[in-house]
Amino acid sequence: MSLSALARWAIVPFFLGAAMFRPAGLSNRDASPDKAPILRPVRYGLDIRVNFDQAVIEANCRLTVKNPYDRAVDRFTFVLYRLLKVRSIKDSLGRRLDFTQEVRTYEDEDKFRANLVEVCLYEPLAPRQTAALDIDYDGTLEGYVDAGMTYVKDRIDKDFTIIRMDCLAYPQPGVASWQRNTAAGLPAFDYELAVTVPGGWVVANGGALVSTENKDGRVTYKFKNTRPSWRMDAAIARYEVMTQAARSIRVYYFPPEKAGAEGVFQGLVKCLDIFSKRLGRLENFQGFAVIEVPLGFGSQADVTSILLTKDAFTDRGRLTDLYHEVAHLWSVPARDPLPCRLESEGVAMYLQYWAQEHIGGQADAMAAGAARQRERFLKVCRENPKAADTPIIDYGKADLTDLAYNKGMLFFYVLDRLAGREKLLPALADCHMRLGISGATTDEYMDCLKTAFGPGIEPVIRDWVYGVRSSDLLKSSLTLDQIAANYRKP
């Protein structure tokens, strides 16, 4: 969940694919893109060795996939970065599997290329069953800046290396359609991660650090996830670490930013404390990590970690990035095929300004933030009239989910001004308590808000979530407080 302004690249999960093709000898079935199966990753066992001198990685990935269909599947595809090459694939019994690989251009992103690997399973995988594959691969990374993903600058470099899904650094089931991959929903998998680096380098990950093993001048860091995850990140640098052992909180930082890291560490502790107090304690909280990354690499949050860019460590005014990503720990998982992201990004934007007021002591942070988000929304409307004519509920379908950051935040700001913060915060807490584990569609989330607020909230939901009258209100000369006041019954 990136804070970068790269719209769909930063918002849409990167379990991507490439154009399907018919490899000789693997299958005679129709292999057209619209009929290719997308299996679900349920477990990763990833072992990576990093060679800085040659700027390459060597990896073995035990990928466990599940067949979500009502029919058996005899083959499937996954993607890797275009400069990573698969050397062998075996099943759980050690049997070699036939596969083909070819660098392909995505059918809906003509600048994006990946290594498409098609695997023929030794025997068909029955519905709802799983299969484990051992995939050996190696190669290098050079990012996706040339494809428009300007924050994916990932390289194998002594100064900073990152292994993450955004650069397809490990196998990800998928096909050649952004729409189909997104419609499949976020994965939720367990992982065990081992990364071997030269002595002196530190590997950072949001899971539990199981062990560190030193051998022949190299160190292997082993991690295990503590909650089902949708992404797996390993950042490598000469990090130093601040910890709070009682809650397994860690902040990995570059040594020159020690003073800034102390501010981030205290901000993290205070943010967790205040959100837990007002939104409810997180179930099964087993630790959290903040990992500094260089400028331009994008701030992103997983369920147990945050990749936070350097400016948040050097500029205390950018701690809102931290508050935003911590707020996602209380996000309700989306169950819509193409989520609008109101209940995640809209809520997180609202909460980041609330935290800025309570932690940063900036009394006007909420109002000032809302004013900025209004201007950003209006700017987008001037550039793209489609934005004003699309209701929030359709942002996913219309590929406008970046608007959830601004108009989504303004929806919650109007509720704040209409009903009061002392009613809105308990309502958000109630929605998290009711829906945080199972997830919800936007319709279900709105029903939860209606239960908390009563029928008086329905006109706001109608105008802002399901209609576009809210766009006209934002374009008008009315202040945001006046817009909220108009929803009060006489």
Residue 192 lies in a domain: no
Query: What was the pLDDT predicted at 35?
Result: 61
Residue 412 lies in a domain: yes
Query: What was the pLDDT predicted at 490?
Result: 64
In 107-207, at which residue ranges do the beta strands (DSSP E only) sit? 109-125, 130-139, 161-163, 172-173, 190-198, 202-204
Same domain, 478 and 445: yes
Same domain, 292 and 398: no
CATH of the domain at 140: 2.60.40
Residue 337 lies in a domain: no
CB of 342 within 8 A of CB of 329? Answer: no
Residue 197 lies in a domain: no
Residue type at position 12:
V
Name residue, tokens 């690499």.
297
Residue 193 lies in a domain: no
Sign of CA dihedral 285, 286, 291, 297: negative
Same domain, 352 and 297: no
Name residue, tokens 């934007």.
349
CATH of the domain at 301: 1.10.390.10
Same domain, 230 and 263: yes
CB of 20 within 8 A of CB of 33? Answer: yes
Name residue, tokens 């029919």.
71
Domain boundaries, position 414: 342-485
Query: What was the pLDDT predicted at 182?
Result: 73
What does pTM read for this prediction?
0.85
Same domain, 29 and 51: yes
Residue 241 lies in a domain: yes
Query: What was the pLDDT predicted at 20?
Result: 27
Same domain, 43 and 124: yes
pLDDT per residue rounded down to tens, the chain (490 residues): 433 333 333 333 323 232 222 222 334 344 444 467 889 999 999 999 999 999 999 999 999 999 999 999 999 999 999 999 999 999 999 999 999 999 988 888 888 999 999 999 999 999 999 999 999 999 999 999 999 999 999 999 999 999 999 999 999 999 777 767 777 777 899 999 999 999 999 999 999 999 999 999 999 999 999 989 999 999 999 999 999 988 889 999 999 999 999 999 999 999 999 999 999 988 778 889 999 999 999 988 888 999 999 998 998 888 898 999 899 989 998 888 889 999 999 999 999 999 999 998 889 999 999 999 999 999 999 999 999 999 999 999 898 999 999 999 999 999 999 999 999 999 999 999 999 888 999 999 999 999 999 988 999 999 999 999 999 999 999 999 999 999 987 6
224 φψ region: left (φ > 0), alpha (ψ -120 to 50), beta (else) = beta
Residue 23 lies in a domain: yes
Spatial distance between the Cα atoms of 121 and 324, rounded to a whole number of angstroms: 42
- Of 330, 350, 373, the position where a domain reaches its end is 330
Spatial distance between the Cα atoms of 234 and 199, rounded to a whole number of angstroms: 16
Residue 335 lies in a domain: no
Spatial distance between the Cα atoms of 51 and 477, rounded to a whole number of angstroms: 59
What contacts 24, CB < 8 A, 6 or more positions away?
none
Same domain, 166 and 18: yes
From the CB of residue 278, how many other CB atoms can be counted at a distance below 10 Å? 17
Same domain, 110 and 23: yes
Q: In total, how many domains does the chain have?
A: 3
Query: What is the Rg, in whole angstroms, of the alpha carbon atoms belonging to the chain?
Result: 23
Same domain, 182 and 214: no
Spatial distance between the Cα atoms of 287 and 205, rounded to a whole number of angstroms: 11
- Of 290, 308, 330, the position where a domain reaches its end is 330
Three-class secondary structure of residue 14 per DSSP: coil
Same domain, 348 and 453: yes
Task: Quote the longest CA-to-CA distance of the chain.
Answer: 77
Q: Which parts of 359-457 fold into alpha helices (H)?
A: 365-383, 407-419, 421-435, 442-453
- Of 279, 300, 330, the position where a domain reaches its end is 330
Same domain, 174 and 234: no
CATH of the domain at 471: 1.10.390
Same domain, 265 and 150: no
What contacts 88, CB < 8 A, 6 or more positions away?
96, 134, 135, 136
